[in-house]
Amino acid sequence: MKIDLWILGFSLVTVGVTLWMGFWAAGKSRTASDFFVAGRGVSVGWNASAISGEYLSAASFMGIAGMVMSSGYDALWYPVCYACGYLFLLLFIAGPLRRFGAYTIPDFAEGRYDSPVFRKIAVVFVLFIGFFYTMPQMKGAGTTLAYIFPGLPYWVGVVLVGAVITFNVALGGMKGITLVQAFQYWVKMFAIAVPVFVLMAVYGHYGRQLGVNGADPAGIPAEARKPLPAKAPSDAAWSQPFGPLTTKAVAASTAGPIYQGPMVTNRFPLFADLRSAAHVAALKTGLAQAPLAVFDGSPVPVGQLLYNYASAQVLANLLDPSPAMTLELAQSLEGATLSPPPSTGGHPDPSTSVRILKGLLDSAGVTVVRDGSRFLAFPTRDAVVRKLDSRPYALLYTYSLIMALVCGTAGLPHILVRFYTNPDGVAAKRTTMWVMILIGVFYVFPPVFGVIGRNLMPELYAGVGAKGTDKIVLELPRILNERYGVLGSVLSGVTCAGAFAAFMSTFSGLLVSMTGALAHDVYGRILRPGSSAAERMRMFKVFAWLIGGVATLLGCFVEPLQINFMVGQAFAIAAASYFPLLFMSVWWRGMTMRGAATGMLGGGVAAVIAVSVTNFSDLGWIPLKAFWIEHPLLRILCEQPAIWAVPGAIALMVLISKATRREVPADIRMKMLVLHAPEALGLKQEYIREHEAGH
Amino acid sequence: MQTPDSPQGDLVHSEAFLHSLMRRQLRLSVFCAALFLVMLIGLPLLNYHFPEWMSVRVLGGFTLSWFLLGIGVFPAVWFIAWFFIRRSMALEREEIAEVARTAQRGR
């Protein structure tokens, strides 16, 4: 495959404009204050676009579509919770934090508890969450470059993009970022919306594309849907809640044929379906890649239970039950022997046998497809019985995911910093309203890519890493080339440009907040408190290169993990550390420094350990697969720890604070007033005066 | 503790003021949060208990559940945000007016 010049061209223009804006803005940013929080004087429109631009990461732009395509319905929780999380931030945290006025979260922590110790803990989490969040951005970068330059190794793309963005940040600081990110929001919005409308106009609208899933395969025209490969989830699992995303952990534990006695479910008439020729054909095309076994009448070695259930004769009867089947036949299947089909004849009640067999096959998770004179047996995806068993787990997973995403948004360091760039509280609220609208509109579009991609580009299901479903947004518009010449390449170029805007803006924002934390908090406050502004500026650049380098290195390792999955984990860590800190500090005056620090450290570290263990075992670095199979519940709680880590952190905060009640800051009432009273009352200035007088 | 020329008088620094301030704000926030938590908690429950209803096809192919989660949620979120912002700005105005009234009475 050669390089498509349209795609390359659009991508280069985006990168070029971003870099140029960075340079241009660098000439304008002079003071240290400019460098860190963009001088606080940014208008509502610019700021709302910039926040949205920073918020819409590679996860939003590429990851959601990829995950909707690979997992279906459950992945919709991601965009919804990203948006709801922002609302949560608005309701509980944004206003008070703004009134309190500080550059960074570590500043807030120190101001609220009068303790420099806390600053150190807070900085550690800026870095933790930041690195976890940069990894998916890097995966997005590597995937995009591997798409634009076919054959380019994944890691080269990561290193290239990492270097360019780091260079840009080291030059521009945040003033540049505000302008660049506002611009990039509109690039992303345009890049996701326009191809969606064109694709829907050509291939059918969102609802129609969805309707194809689960419809009678015979009634679907060939151009509306290509056959699904073996690795794709079935229609039922894909379009319904509690599908592969949330049941993965449990499904892994029941993988392999496990039979626990005859079990008949009439809810899902699997074999009635099998008998319709159209359905058999659909199953065959969908599943024909790797049969567990081929039964052609000759004896099959006994090994898996599956083998015990099926023989050519049995299946012939099952699919076409004209010759009478014997009860003995069915019973013999329960034993461990597989013999050539026993002779038929004798018992007059075929329906009983069929019923028992159905139950056996169902509970073994076997699907049988007739192929001429042979019968192919496949493992049934979402075997009916398993699906029923795993639903409570799936519900738990769903809630844990929701909690991580909603609370995690409220604790993302690079988003919170942006609230300080508004001139006043009213502007901050108006900005937030606009952000809600801007990101809400955006989030309707990415799932459409996933849905259309399932129908028209199912071959991506077979790909792994950078070649998998995460690149659907980039590649899908290209199918238009079949009908309208170069249009597909142009639109694919547009979405690539959007992807560049996505991971560049988020990576820049993260880099600024992480570097800011190191330069401003660690260097400026802890290591060299007396350093001059010029020295801090110089250190900002050094740290930018350092952090950028580490993030790039980490990005090289995560190719096998899905973009959105990693973001979910970054959010879980934020949810268990920053969110309880901010929420409780703002609304409960009984919090003490020790309580806050213990809770944040405890919740955050527990979440980091849990998700790291999951990731390491998924990457194959630690052997835990067998353990997960035995303990599916633990697997869910580790993979998505928010549901226990967030309440745990809050409980820890309350307990320790109660135990250290005497340490509640003496001027807590004044602090609370500053946090909650309208800014027009001028309490902030009064507070600063008193504070300076008191020290 | 207060500067003598403080225009607001003592009300601002009283325990009662802070208490009512925080309670009113928290009540508004919790009310709004409850609205969207009902959606976030309720939808999985509906999916869990009424899978047949939630997979009814609406509007040319969407399952009901997909339509609610993929599209319907966002206008609801905007409405809650709009409502909250309007109420909280009104709340701030009320608080400022209240302080001003008390200050006048105090003179």
DSSP B17-42: HHHHHHHHHHHHHHHHHHHHHHHHHH
Domain end: A558, A576, A609, which one? A558
In a domain, A492, yes or no: yes
For residue A140, the surrounding DSSP H or E stretch is helix A116-148
- B65/A402 CB distance under 8 A: no
* A53: nearest Cα among A187, A185, A143, A158: A185
For A44, the 3-state DSSP assignment is helix
Using an 8 Å Cβ cutoff, are A240 and B63 in contact? Answer: yes
Verify whether the Cβ–Cβ distance B89 to A429 is below 8 Å. yes
A542-588 confidence digits (pLDDT tens) = 888 999 999 999 998 888 888 888 888 888 998 998 899 989 998 99
**Chain B residue closest in CA terms to A671:** B18
Chain A interface, best mutation among B19, B69, B79, by max A CB count within 10 A: B69
Of B40, B57, B71, the CB nearest to A406: B40
Q: How many of the other CB atoms lie within 10 Å of CB of A666? A: 10
Mean pLDDT, residues A385-392 taken together: 56
Q: What is the pLDDT of residue A219?
A: 61
Q: Is A232 inside any structural domain?
A: no
Say yes or no for a CB contact (<8 Å) between A92 and B62. Answer: no
Residue A275 Cα, gap to closest chain B Cα (Å): 24
Report the pLDDT averaged over residues A59-65.
Answer: 88
Chain B nearest-CA residue for A204? B60
Q: Which domain holds residue A495?
A: 5-203+401-558
Contacts of A690 in chain B (CB under 8 A): 1
Is A442 or A124 the better-scoring residue by pLDDT?
A442
The reply to whether residue B40 touches residue A84, judged by beta carbons under 8 angstroms, is yes
A468 versus B78: the higher-pLDDT residue is: B78
A130 and A277 belong to one structural domain: no
With bands split at pLDDT 50, 70 and 90, how would you rate the model's confidence at A176? Answer: low
| Chain B residue nearest residue A215, CA to CA | B61
Residues of A in contact with B47 (CB under 8 A): 240-242
Task: Judge whether A474 lies within some domain.
Answer: yes
Of these ranges, A21-25, A258-262, A369-373, A381-385, the one predicted with the greatest mean pLDDT is A21-25
Determine whether the interchain pair B6/A686 forms a contact, defined as Cβ–Cβ distance below 8 Å.
yes
Q: How far is CA A13 from the centre of its chain?
A: 28
Kindly report the number of other CB atoms within 10 A of residue A315's CB atom: 23
Q: Using CB atoms within 10 Å of the CB of residue B42, give its burial: 0 to 12 exposed, 13 to 18 middle, 19+ buried.
A: exposed
CA distance linking residue A196 with residue A491, whole number of Å:
10
Residue B22 confidence (pLDDT) above 60: yes
How many CB pairs lie under 8 A apart between chains A and B?
Answer: 145
Through-space distance between the first and last CA atoms of chain B, rounded to whole angstroms: 19
Helix (H, G, I), strand (E, B) or coil at A375: strand
Range with the largest mean pLDDT of A381-390, A580-589, A623-632: A580-589
- My answer on whether A412 and A375 are in the same domain is no
- Mean pLDDT, rounded, of chain A: 73
For residue A288, pLDDT beyond 60: no
Region A438-457: mean pLDDT is 91
Angle at A330 between CA A326 and CA A332, to 5 degrees: 110
* C-alpha to C-alpha distance for A555 and A143, rounded to whole angstroms: 11
Q: Which residues pair with B62 in a beta bridge?
A: B58
Comparing CB atoms, the residue among B12, B48, B69 nearest residue A80 is B69
Indicate the pLDDT class of residue B30, thresholds 50, 70 and 90.
Answer: very high
Q: Distance between CA A530 and CA A466 in Å, rounded?
A: 47
Reply yes or no on whether the pLDDT at A189 is more than 90: yes
Whether residue A626 is contained in a domain is answered as: no
pTM higher than 0.80: no
Q: Using the beta-carbon criterion (under 8 Å), do B66 and A677 form an inter-chain contact?
A: no
What's the average model confidence in pLDDT over A672-694?
Answer: 73
Q: Does the pLDDT value for residue B67 go beyond 50?
A: yes
Pick the closest to residue A58 from A144, A159, A169 (CA basis).
A144
pLDDT at A318: 44
Total Cβ atoms within 10 A of residue A264: 14
Residues on chain A touching B57 (C-beta within 8 angstroms) = 211
Task: Tell me which chain A residue has its CA closest to the CA of residue B45.
Answer: A395
Predicted confidence (pLDDT) at residue B36 exceeds the cutoff of 60 = yes
Distance CA B13, CA A484 (A): 70
Q: Note the pLDDT of residue A626.
A: 64
Count how many residues are written for chain A: 695
For residue A430, the model assigns a pLDDT of: 82
For chain B, the average pLDDT equals 82
- Given an 8 Å threshold on Cβ–Cβ distance, is B92 in contact with A425? yes
Q: Determine whether the interchain pair B62/A212 forms a contact, defined as Cβ–Cβ distance below 8 Å.
A: no
Give the 3-state secondary structure of residue A378. Answer: strand
Q: Which residue, A82, A386, A404, A446, is CA-closest to A242?
A: A386
Residue B78 has pLDDT above 90, yes or no: yes
Strand pairing partners for A376?
A294, A369
- Across the range A156-160, mean pLDDT stands at 91
Q: Are B48 and A241 a contacting pair at CB < 8 A?
A: yes
Tell me the residue type at A129.
I
Residues A184 and A259 in one domain: no
Name the nearest CA neighbour of A246 among A124, A79, A73: A73
Q: What's the mean pLDDT in A118-131?
A: 82
Report whether pLDDT(A615) > 60. yes
Q: Kindly provide the b/e burial profile for residues A248-262, where b requires at least 16 CB atoms within 10 angstroms of the residue's own CB.
A: bbbbebbeebebeeb
Convert the pLDDT of each residue in A592-614 to its tens digit: 988 998 999 999 999 999 998 98
Q: Which residue has the tokens 């996860």?
A: A59
Contact between A429 and B74 under an 8 Å Cβ cutoff? The reply is: no
A95–chain B nearest CA distance, Å:
10
Residue range B70-77: mean pLDDT, rounded: 91
pLDDT at B2 over 60: no
**Cβ-based contacts of A425 with chain B (< 8 Å):** 92
Q: How far is CA A646 from CA A255, A271, A379, A630, A656, in A?
A: 31, 45, 38, 26, 16
Residue A160 scores a pLDDT above 60:
yes
Order across the sheet with A366-371: list the strands: A293-295, A374-379, A366-371
In DSSP notation, A150-189 reads TT--HHHHHHHHHHHHHHHHHHHHHHHHHHHHHHHHHHHH
Residue A313 is assigned to a structural domain of this protein: yes
Task: Report d(CA A638, CA A612) in Å as an integer.
Answer: 9
Residues A440, B77: C-beta atoms closer than 8 Å: yes
Same domain assignment for residues A61 and A127: yes
Cα–Cα distance, A61 to A261 (Å, whole number): 47
Split at pLDDT 50, 70, 90, the class of A108 is: confident
Question: B39: nearest CA in chain A?
Answer: A84
Q: Considering its fold, how many domains does chain A have in total? A: 3
B33, B61, B66: residue with CB nearest A73: B66
Sign of the CA dihedral with A16 first, then A19, A22, and A26 last: negative
A268 and A179 assigned to the same domain: no
**pLDDT one-digit tens code per residue, A489-539:** 889 999 998 998 888 888 887 888 888 888 877 787 777 777 777 787 788
Q: Is the pLDDT of residue A323 over 90?
A: no
- Confidence at A359, pLDDT banded by 50, 70, 90: low
Whether B61 sits inside 8 A of A686 (CB atoms) is no
Backbone phi, then psi, for A370, in 5-degree steps?
Answer: -85, 135
> What's the CA gap between A129 and A124, in Å, rounded?
9
Q: Which pLDDT score, from 0 to 100, does residue A41 have?
A: 58
Identify the closest residue of chain A to B80 by CA–CA distance.
A87
CB-based contact A80 B84, cutoff 8 Å: no
Under a CB-based contact definition with an 8 Å cutoff, are residues A354 and A319 in contact? no
Q: Which of A381, A410, A429 is the last residue of a domain?
A: A381
Residue in A96, A688, A682, A671 with CA at minimum distance from that of residue B8: A682
Closest CA to A184 of A443, A510, A499: A499
What is the predicted pLDDT for the residue at A400? 92
Q: How confident is the model at residue A103 (pLDDT cuts 50, 70, 90)?
A: low
Q: A497, A525, A558: which is the final residue of a domain?
A: A558
Closest residue in chain B to residue A681, using alpha carbons only: B96
Tokens coding A663: 């340490």
Q: Give the integer Cα–Cα distance in Å for A431 and A424.
A: 10
Residue whose pair of structure tokens reads 């309670």 in the numeric block? B23
- Give the range among A217-231, A323-337, A594-608 with minimum mean pLDDT: A323-337
- Cβ neighbours of A693 (radius 10 Å): 7
pLDDT score of A255 more than 50? no
Burial bucket for residue B103 (CB in 10 Å: 0-12, 13-18, 19+): middle
| Beta-carbon contacts of residue A141 (< 8 Å; ≥ 6 apart) | A58, A157, A158, A160, A161, A162, A503, A507, A555
Let me know if residue A459 belongs to a domain. yes
Do A68 and A105 sit in the same domain of this protein?
yes
- Closest residue in chain A to residue B99, using alpha carbons only: A681
Q: Higher-confidence residue: A239 or A301?
A: A239
Percent share of chain A, pLDDT over 90: 15
How much is the pLDDT for A28?
61
Q: What is the rounded distance in angstroms from the CA atom of residue A490 to the CA atom of residue A478? A: 8
Question: A97 with A156, same domain?
Answer: yes
The partner residue sitting opposite B66, judged by closest CB among A239, A398, A433, is A239
Residue B8 is given by DSSP the state: T
Contacts of A447 in chain B (CB under 8 A): 70
Nearest to B77 among A92, A436, A587 (CB): A436
Contact yes or no for A678 and B44 at CB 8 A: no
CB < 8 Å to B29, chain A:
91-92
Cβ pair A482, A578 in contact under 8 A: no
Higher-pLDDT residue of A466, A329: A466
Q: Which helix (H) or strand (E) holds A265?
A: none
Residues of chain A contacting B22 with CB distance shorter than 8 Å: 587, 672, 676
CA distance A27 to chain B (A): 37
Q: What is the 3-state secondary structure (H, E, C) of A468-522?
A: CHHHHHHHHHHHHHHHHCCHHHHHHHHHHHHHHHHHHHHHHHHHHHHHHHHHHHH
Q: Pairing relation of β-strands A374-379 and A366-371?
A: antiparallel
**What's the pLDDT score for residue A172?**
63
Lowest-pLDDT choice from A29-33, A60-64, A345-349, A684-688:
A345-349
Same domain, residue pair A373 and A408: no
Residues A487-500 have pLDDT tens digits of 888 899 999 989 98
State how far residue A603 is from chain B, nearest Cα, in angstroms.
23
Please tell me the distance in Å from B74's CA to the nearest CA on chain A: 6
The answer to the question of residue A409 being in a domain is yes
What pLDDT sits at residue A249?
A: 61
Q: Is residue A568 part of a domain?
A: no
Provide the pLDDT for residue A355.
Answer: 46
Please tell me the distance from the alpha carbon of residue A501 to that of residue A573, in angstroms, as a whole number: 25
pLDDT of residue A502: 87
Nearest to A398 among B29, B44, B54 (CB): B44
Percent of chain A with pLDDT strictly greater than 70: 69
